[in-house]
């Protein structure tokens, strides 16, 4: 998902965990029909964090369990409803940062293959990047 020319904000850490093309059913969109009827949403999550401690110790407890991230993404997409996929992406980013303290930065891509557009379109989507705010 890395944008062309995009560099990680934390020059000391460039490690990433990537979940690519998760597919969930959700009710997101501006129209009433989109709010009533499930449709597929494809989600990518890219998490920046230091993976060295987990790698050296070969210890899941020293990293982020990507199956738990998958479940967080599923819950956000499937249990809430947003008019805009921008809002859905923001909710995903905030929930991932809240739930997984080791993550310093997260990138979210949401794709909507059944966007209500007259014409040929593979998908409509958004990509956002958010950093953990310093405490």
Taking only the tens place, the pLDDT of each residue in 82-117 is 999 999 999 999 999 999 999 999 999 999 999 998
Using CA atoms, how far residue 47 sits from 20, 26, 78, 107, in Å, is 11, 23, 21, 6
Domains of the chain: 16-131 (3.30.1130.10)
What's the farthest any 2 CA atoms get from each other in the chain?
53
CB 50 within 8 A of CB 100: no
Taking only the tens place, the pLDDT of each residue in 7-51 is 444 456 789 999 999 999 999 999 999 999 999 999 999 999 999
80 pLDDT band (50/70/90 cuts)? very high
DSSP sequence for 53-81: HHHHHT-GGGS--HHHHHHHHHHHHHH--
Q: What is the pLDDT of residue 50?
A: 96
> Which one of 109, 112, 115, 127 is the catalytic residue?
112
108 phi and psi angles, rounded to 5 deg: -125, 130
Give this prediction's pTM.
0.89
Q: Which range is least confidently modeled, 43-47, 73-77, 119-123?
A: 119-123
Nearest to 65 by CA among 44, 108, 96, 43: 96
Nearby residues of 52 by Cβ (< 8 Å), 6 or more positions away: 15
CB 128 within 8 A of CB 110: no
Please confirm, yes or no, whether 112 is among the known catalytic residues: yes
Average the pLDDT over 58-83 and give the result: 97
């Amino acid at each position: 998902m890395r944008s062309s020319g995009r560099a990680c904000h934390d020059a000391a850490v460039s490690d990433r965990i990537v979940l690519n093309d998760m597919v969930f059913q959700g009710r997101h969109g501006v129209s009433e029909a989109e709010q009533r009827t499930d449709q597929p949403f494809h989600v990518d999550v890219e998490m920046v964090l230091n993976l060295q401690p987990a790698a050296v110790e070969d210890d899941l407890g020293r990293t982020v369990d990507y199956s738990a991230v998958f479940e967080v993404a599923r819950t956000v997409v499937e249990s809430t409803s947003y008019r805009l996929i921008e809002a859905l992406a923001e909710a995903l980013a905030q929930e991932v940062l809240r739930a997984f303290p080791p993550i310093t930065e997260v990138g979210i891509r949401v794709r909507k293959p059944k966007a209500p557009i007259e014409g040929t379109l593979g998908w409509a989507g958004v990509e956002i990047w958010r950093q953990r705010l310093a405490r």
